[in-house]
Amino acid sequence: MTSVVAELSARRLMAVAIAGSAFCAPPGNAQEYPAKPITVTLVLAAGTGLDVVARTWGEQLAQSLGKPVVFDNRPGANGIVAASAVKNAAADGHTLLVATSAALALNPTTYKQLPYDPIKDFVPIAVYLKSPFVLIVHPSLPVRSVKELATYAKARPGQLSYSSTGPGGAPRLATEMFMQHYGLTITHVPYKNSPQAIVDVAAGHVQLGFAEAGASRAFIRDKRLRALAVSSLTRFNSLPEVPTLAEATGRQELEAVSWHALAVPAATPRAVINRLHSEMTRILNLPEIVKAIASLDLIPVPPTSIDSNQQYIASEAHKWGDLVRKLGLAGSQ
């Protein structure tokens, strides 16, 4: 009898232990998720376009999941600070990353050492918008098209200069891509931030550059800058008369944009990944979200599968990596 009681007691203790471990374990299926508030870690500061858009869809995500969505802005080192924090967080779907193309496609080539691998360490839930650039010139230049600029610059090798936000940033790489297409030599003048890079073109200190669409639109409207092309594959709503770079050059695949992506640590349970992907697909198709993105001079990207997101990021990393290596910038940071 004693042995039977002991065996029953042992079974009860084991059942309690199993129940307790199941209660404490991270959620492994969509029904258990989320168990607490969701933290979205962003690579840029509060008030930026990336931040504003994320907070907009974050409200919808909070309603869908029934838990608060809080935001943790961790700008610094081209997204490395934020990406490292999310990589090292618990892979349970409660810590998400919002990153730009710099963090997920450019850093692997431009940095000697990177504390994360964009492909191996993260799963992209959504690549949900593109941030296009506008090829701007000072109005004093006697050019009104991309081909006229190319002809003008070709006859003056090294005499013109262009502004950018840094040695390995997307605006600089967009300009280098344009220069390589036409075989041009234009002097690079780097700046610490986008506003100053744009202001100095408007002031005539440098002659041209690829600038963020939203930040340059007022200068274009006031005719302090002339827009020759947009770097996206589609024309821009607020500059419908300006051709795309692909149209202007005849290279239909030519695109040079930044983009924003939502990602989770790669070890996150697949059921949680699928739940997040399903929720974000619905949210990003909402007319009010599409309108909110477009109102910031950004281009909404229709949701696709996770596999398609991974393929797109890999292709961007390959495209920009090749250019960075050709420029001798690989491992320069």
Provide the CATH number for the domain around residue 177. Answer: 3.40.190.10
Pairing of strands 226-230, 133-137: antiparallel
CA distance linking residue 78 with residue 107, whole number of Å? 7
Of 228, 249, 270, which residue sits at a domain end?
249
List phi, psi (to 5°) of 313: -65, -40
Cα angle 146, 152, 157 (rounded to 5 degrees) comes to 115
Answer yes or no: is pLDDT of 13 > 60: no
CB atoms within 10 A of CB 305: 10
The residue-averaged pLDDT of 115-136 equals 96
pLDDT for the residue numbered 32: 86
Same domain, 62 and 82: yes
- Any domain includes 30: no
- Any domain includes 301: yes
Same domain, 268 and 315: yes
Same domain, 161 and 231: yes
Of 200, 218, 249, which residue sits at a domain end?
249
pLDDT for the residue numbered 305: 98
- Any domain includes 118: yes
The number of folded domains in the chain is: 2
- Any domain includes 17: no
Using 50, 70 and 90 to split pLDDT, how confident is the model at 170?
confident
CA distance linking residue 135 with residue 225, whole number of Å? 10
- Any domain includes 55: yes
pLDDT in tens, 276-318: 999 999 999 999 999 999 999 899 999 999 999 999 999 999 9
Q: Which residues pair with 136 in a beta bridge?
A: 209, 227
CA distance linking residue 135 with residue 114, whole number of Å? 31
Same domain, 137 and 232: yes
Same domain, 124 and 272: yes
Answer yes or no: is pLDDT of 75 > 50: yes
3-state secondary structure 8-28: HHHHHHHHHHHHHHHHHCCCC
pLDDT in tens, 236-262: 888 999 999 999 998 888 899 999 999
Same domain, 102 and 148: no
- Any domain includes 264: yes
Whole-number average pLDDT of the chain: 89
Same domain, 197 and 59: no
Same domain, 147 and 91: no
pLDDT in tens, 191-237: 988 889 999 999 999 999 999 888 898 999 999 999 999 999 999 88
Answer yes or no: is pLDDT of 11 > 90: no
pLDDT for the residue numbered 31: 65
Of 204, 227, 249, which residue sits at a domain end?
249
CA distance linking residue 327 with residue 333, whole number of Å? 14
Q: How far is CA 5 from the centre of its chain?
A: 62
pLDDT in tens, 109-124: 999 999 999 999 999 9
The residue-averaged pLDDT of 9-35 equals 50
Same domain, 144 and 279: no
Same domain, 245 and 275: no
CA distance linking residue 251 with residue 202, whole number of Å? 28
Answer yes or no: is pLDDT of 17 > 70: no
pLDDT for the residue numbered 30: 56
28 Cβ contact list (under 8 Å, min separation 6)? 269, 271, 272
Read off the CATH number of the domain in which 287 is found.
3.40.190.150
CA distance linking residue 135 with residue 117, whole number of Å? 32
Give the structural domain span for 179.
133-249
**pTM attached to this predicted model:** 0.85
pLDDT for the residue numbered 237: 83
pLDDT for the residue numbered 9: 42
Same domain, 201 and 265: no
pLDDT for the residue numbered 7: 43
Using 50, 70 and 90 to split pLDDT, how confident is the model at 332?
confident
- Any domain includes 32: no
CA distance linking residue 22 with residue 137, whole number of Å? 62
Same domain, 164 and 90: no
- Any domain includes 5: no
Pairing of strands 161-164, 187-190: parallel
Answer yes or no: is pLDDT of 320 > 90: yes
Do residues 278 and 271 make contact, with C-beta atoms less than 8 angstroms apart? no
pLDDT for the residue numbered 29: 54
